A and B are shown apart, each in its own frame.
Chain A
Amino acid sequence: MAARTVDPLVPVTLVVGPETLLAERAVAAVVRAARRAQPDADVSEVTGSEMTAGGLAEHTSPSLFATARVLVIHDVQNVPDAVGDALVAFAHEPVDDMYLVLVHPGGVKAKKLLERLRKAGVHEVKAERLTKADDQVSFVRSEVHHAGGRIDEAAARQLVEAVGGDLRTLASAASQLASDAPSGVVDQQLVGTYFEGRADVKGWVVADRAVEGKTGAAIEELRWALQTGTDPVLVIGALATALRTLARLSGAPRGVRDADLARDLGVPPWKIRILRGQLRGWTPAGLARAIRAVASADLAVKGGVNDSTHALTTALVRIDEARSG
C-alpha cells in the first residue's frame, strides 16, 4: 500500500515480509512505473539461489540500447555472499535506468545483508501479514476504495468475518464487490448476498458465549468453528478453561485486589471485570455440573464418537442447564 503513495521508481527497492500479495504488489508497482517511464523497459525475474556475481554484472552493466531495465530478485536471502556484496555496492552506486527489486520473505536469514542494504539507503516496502482484525478491515476499505467503490466500517468487518484473514481472498472479494455494487457503495446487504457464513471462529468465542448463558449463539459459533476446521479438542479446552477460571473466581476470598486475583487466576487484569460479569448467574453446584459435562464431552471426542459436533452441542446444552440451575 505504501508503494502506491510514493514514486516507486527508485534504483533499489527492498520488499520485506511474508505476505506474498503485498510483496507482489510492490514488485508490480515498480514494474508498472518503469513501463510508464519507458514503454519498452526490459523486465527480468530471477530467484536468489540461481543468481551469480557474473550474472548480476551482466544484468546491471549499462545496456547498449539504453532501455530501462528492471531486475527482480526473489528470495534474496538465498543469494551467494559475492552477489550480496555486489548488491550492496550497487545500492551505493546505482546505474542509470537500472532498477533492482529485492524480495525477502522476512525472517532472520540473510539479516546482515538486509541491514547493509538499509544502511545504503534503499527504499524499503514492508509486506507484513495483517493479523489484527482492525488492520484487515482497513485493508478491505482501502481495496474497495482503490477499485473505485466505497464501503463502510461495518460492511468491511462483516466481509472479514465471512472470508477470514487471507489477504488475497479479501482483495479479490473487495474488487468483486466494488465492481458489482450498483452505485459503487458496498453495504452490509451486498456483502451478505455474496458472502455468507463465518471464518476463523476460535474456541474461546464459543466458550465465552456458553458461560454467558447465550447458548443459542454458542451453538451457532460452535458450528462455524467446526465447519471451518477448528479442532473439537480445542473447543473443549476453551470450555474447560473458561469454566475453571470462573469456578476459581467464585471460590476466591472476598476483598482480594483485582491485580492479585488476576495473577491467581492466570488472566490479564482487565479480564477480571468481564469474568465477574460472566460469573453472574452461576452457582458453585452449577459450575461443578458444567465442568463434569465438559469432561464427558472430552472423553466422547477422544474416544472417537462418530459425531463430535453432537458431543459438543450436548455439552453446551448441559452447560446451559447447569447455569439455569
Chain B
Amino acid sequence: MNGASDAAGMADMVGTAGMTSTTSASNANRGNGTSVWDAVVGQPIVPALQQTVADASASLDGAPSGSMTHAWLFTGPPGSGRSVAAKAFAAALQCDSGGCGTCAECTDVRNGTHPDVAALVTEGLSIKISQVRELVPKAALRPARGRWQIVIVEDADRLGEDAADALLLSVEEPPDRTVWMLCAPTAEDIAPTIRSRCRVVQLRTPPSDAVATYLSTTEGIDKRTATFAARAAQGHIGRARALATDENARSRREEVLKLPFALDDLRQCLDAAASLVDAAKADAERHCDALDAREVDELKRALGAESTGRKPRNMDAAVKELEREQKLRRTRVQRDSIDRALIDVLALYRDVLMLQLGVRTELINDEMRASLDRLARNSRAESTLRRMEAIGQAREALMANAAPLLTLESMALTLREG
C-alpha cells in the first residue's frame, strides 16, 4: 500500500497553513441566521471553507478547482464540532446557494437522509474493516441527486490499521465527484498514508462566549445558564448543551466537583473512586440498556425470528456477535463518562492553581469561588501541580485500558497526599 502512496501527490499541510491564516473575517458566517454554517461555533476557518464551496461550485462549470479537493481531514479538540463542521461543509457543497440551510439539500444533509452524503459513525471502540468495505463501493458511485458524492467518516481516529488500508485506495484517487471527509482529534491520529492524502481543516476550541451565544440564539437557552454552561464545558459544545439542558448532567457535575473536598481519609478516597465508577456505570446503563435491547430486537426481526415461528439458523451466533460489540460500546461510554468527570476535577484544580499563582483570569468554576479560595489557601502551588499531574496520569492510564476502579483509587490517594 505504501508503495503507491505518492501517486496522488497532493498531501497538504501547506493547504492548511493557507487556510488557517485566513482568520480575519471570523464573524462573516453569522449573517442571515439560517445558514448551515451557524452550527459551526467560533471557528475562524469558516470563511475559507465558504470560499472553497464557491470554488467547488465554479469547478462544476468547468472553472479550475481552486481550493477544492477530494479528501478533507477535520481536526480539532473534542467538542469543537468536527463532525458538525464536516456536515455543514457537505451541506454547503450540495446546496445551490452555498449552504442556505433551508433548501431540500441542506435539510436532508442535516437529517442524515441525503442520498449522496454517507456518514460512518461508530459507537464501538473501533471502526471495523467490514464497515469500511461497505463504504468504499458507495464512494465509487456518481452522485444520484446532489452535486457531489460525499462520504463522512466521523471518529476516523478509530480506524484500525487494516481498516485504514481498506480506505486508502479510495481516499487516494476517488472518482471526480467524490469527496471524503474524515474527522479526528489531531492529524497524528490518522495513519500517515491517509493523512497525506487529505487537506487538513484545523478547528480550535471555540471561545466560551461564542458557545454561550450559540446556545442562547439557536437553542433558546437563557443567557445566564448558557454562560455558565459554556464556561463549565470549557469549549466543548456538546457538553455545554448537555449542561445547559439536562438537569441530571448539572447535578452529576456538582457531585463530581465535591470530590476534592472529600478526601480526608483512606476510606473516603476509596468511596470517591467507587462513586465515580458507579456513576459511570449508571451513565452507561442509561445510555446503553434500552439501545442494546432495541438493537437485539431489530436484529432478531431482521433474521425473521418472529415471522416464521422457528428459530432461524445462526441467530444465536449473530446475537452473540452483536452483544460482544455492545459490550465494547458500553466500555467506551463508561470510559468517556469517567474521563468527563476527570476533566471537571482537573479544571477545578486549574482554578485553584490560578488563585494560588495570583493569575487574574476567568475561573471555570467561578460559582464555587469560596471553596476554591479555601482549597488554594490550604495547599501550595507545587502540590496542586502534582495533583493535576495525577489526574492527567489517571486519564492516560484509563485510555490504556487500566482497571478503572483501581486507577481512580490510586489517583484519589495521590490527590489526598498532594
Chain A contacts to B: CB under 8 angstroms: 233, 236-237, 240, 244, 247-248, 250-252, 284, 287-288, 291-292, 294-296, 298-299, 302-303
Known: A288-B417, A292-B410, A292-B413. A240 touches B403 (CB 8 A): yes
Cross-chain contact A247 with B266 (CB below 8 angstroms): yes
- What per-residue 1/0 map shows which CB atoms of B379-418 lie under 8 Å from chain A? 0000000000000000001001111011101100110110
The 29 sampled A-B contact pairs (Cβ below 8 Å) are A236-B406, A237-B403, A240-B403, A240-B405, A247-B266, A247-B270, A248-B267, A248-B270, A250-B267, A251-B265, A251-B266, A251-B267, A252-B267, A284-B266, A288-B269, A288-B413, A288-B417, A292-B414, A294-B410, A295-B397, A295-B402, A295-B407, A298-B397, A298-B402, A299-B397, A299-B402, A299-B407, A302-B402, A303-B400
Cross-chain contact A295 with B410 (CB below 8 angstroms): yes
Known: A288-B417, A291-B413, A303-B400. A298 touches B265 (CB 8 A): no
Instruction: Give the residues in chain B near A287, CB-CB below 8 Å.
Output: 266
A13 to chain B, nearest CB (A): 34
Which residues in chain B, 259-309, are within 8 Å of chain A measured between CB atoms?
Answer: 265-270
Cross-chain contact A298 with B406 (CB below 8 angstroms): yes
Instruction: Give the residues in chain B near A299, CB-CB below 8 Å.
Output: 397, 400, 402, 407
Known: A288-B266, A291-B413. A240 touches B406 (CB 8 A): yes
- Docked complex Cα distance between A230 and B400 (Å): 21
Instruction: Give the residues in chain B near A248, CB-CB below 8 Å.
Output: 267, 270
Cross-chain contact A244 with B397 (CB below 8 angstroms): no
Query: Closest A-chain residue to B266, C-beta based?
Result: A284
Instruction: Give the residues in chain A near B266, CB-CB below 8 Å.
Output: 247, 250-251, 284, 287-288
Cross-chain contact B265 with A284 (CB below 8 angstroms): yes
A252 to chain B, nearest CB (A): 8
- Docked complex Cα distance between A233 and B401 (Å): 11
Known: A251-B267, A287-B266. A298 touches B413 (CB 8 A): no
Q: A244-B270, A252-B267, A295-B397 are in contact. List 14 more A-B contacts (CB 8 A).
A: A237-B403, A247-B267, A248-B267, A250-B266, A251-B266, A251-B270, A287-B266, A295-B403, A295-B410, A298-B397, A298-B403, A299-B407, A302-B401, A302-B402
Cross-chain contact A295 with B406 (CB below 8 angstroms): yes
- Docked complex Cα distance between A39 and B287 (Å): 71
Instruction: Give the residues in chain A near B265, CB-CB below 8 Å.
Output: 251, 284
- Docked complex Cα distance between A288 and B405 (Å): 14
Instruction: Give the residues in chain B near A291, CB-CB below 8 Å.
Output: 406, 409-410, 413
Q: How large is the interface on B (under 10, 10 to 19, 20 to 34, 35 or more residues)?
A: 20 to 34
Instruction: Give the residues in chain A near B268, CB-CB below 8 Å.
Output: 251
Instruction: Give the residues in chain A near B413, CB-CB below 8 Å.
Output: 288, 291-292
Cross-chain contact A244 with B403 (CB below 8 angstroms): no
- Docked complex Cα distance between A161 and B207 (Å): 65
- Docked complex Cα distance between A288 and B412 (Å): 10
- Docked complex Cα distance between A321 and B413 (Å): 17
B238 to chain A, nearest CB (A): 29
- Docked complex Cα distance between A287 and B410 (Å): 11
Query: Closest A-chain residue to B411, C-beta based?
Result: A295
Cross-chain contact A294 with B400 (CB below 8 angstroms): no
Instruction: Give the residues in chain A near B270, CB-CB below 8 Å.
Output: 244, 247-248, 251
Instruction: Give the residues in chain B near A288, CB-CB below 8 Å.
Output: 266, 269, 413, 416-417
Known: A247-B266, A284-B265. A298 touches B417 (CB 8 A): no
- Docked complex Cα distance between A317 and B63 (Å): 72
- Docked complex Cα distance between A251 and B267 (Å): 5
Known: A288-B413, A288-B417, A292-B413. A298 touches B269 (CB 8 A): no
- Docked complex Cα distance between A288 and B400 (Å): 22
Instruction: Give the residues in chain A near B269, CB-CB below 8 Å.
Output: 288
Scoring A252, A294, A299 by chain B CB atoms within 10 A of each residue's CB, the highest score goes to A299
Instruction: Give the residues in chain B near A247, CB-CB below 8 Å.
Output: 266-267, 270
Cross-chain contact B403 with A236 (CB below 8 angstroms): yes
A19 to chain B, nearest CB (A): 27
Query: Closest B-chain residue to A303, C-beta based?
Result: B400
Instruction: Give the residues in chain B near A284, CB-CB below 8 Å.
Output: 265-266
A142 to chain B, nearest CB (A): 41
- Docked complex Cα distance between A252 and B402 (Å): 28
- Docked complex Cα distance between A88 and B276 (Å): 59
- Docked complex Cα distance between A302 and B396 (Å): 12
A227 to chain B, nearest CB (A): 23
Instruction: Give the residues in chain B near A250, CB-CB below 8 Å.
Output: 266-267
Instruction: Give the residues in chain A near B417, CB-CB below 8 Å.
Output: 288
Query: Closest B-chain residue to A233, C-beta based?
Result: B403
Cross-chain contact A302 with B400 (CB below 8 angstroms): yes
A243 to chain B, nearest CB (A): 9
Instruction: Give the residues in chain A near B416, CB-CB below 8 Å.
Output: 288
Instruction: Give the residues in chain B near A251, CB-CB below 8 Å.
Output: 265-268, 270
Cross-chain contact A295 with B409 (CB below 8 angstroms): yes
Query: Closest B-chain residue to A289, C-beta based?
Result: B413
- Docked complex Cα distance between A247 and B401 (Å): 24
Instruction: Give the residues in chain A near B401, CB-CB below 8 Å.
Output: 302
Instruction: Give the residues in chain B near A244, CB-CB below 8 Å.
Output: 270, 405, 409
Instruction: Give the residues in chain B near A240, CB-CB below 8 Å.
Output: 403, 405-406, 409
- Docked complex Cα distance between A302 and B404 (Å): 12
Which residues in chain B, 70-122, are within 8 Å of chain A measured between CB atoms?
Answer: none
Query: Closest B-chain residue to A297, C-beta based?
Result: B406
Instruction: Give the residues in chain B near A252, CB-CB below 8 Å.
Output: 267
- Docked complex Cα distance between A250 and B266 (Å): 8
- Docked complex Cα distance between A288 and B402 (Å): 18
A264 to chain B, nearest CB (A): 10
A245 to chain B, nearest CB (A): 10
- Docked complex Cα distance between A247 and B268 (Å): 10
Instruction: Give the residues in chain A near B402, CB-CB below 8 Å.
Output: 295, 298-299, 302
**Closest 5 CB pairs between A and B?**
A251-B267, A295-B410, A288-B413, A284-B266, A292-B410
Query: Closest A-chain residue to B410, C-beta based?
Result: A295
- Docked complex Cα distance between A142 and B59 (Å): 90
Query: Closest B-chain residue to A287, C-beta based?
Result: B266
Scoring B265, B268, B406 by chain A CB atoms within 10 A of each residue's CB, the highest score goes to B406
A149 to chain B, nearest CB (A): 48
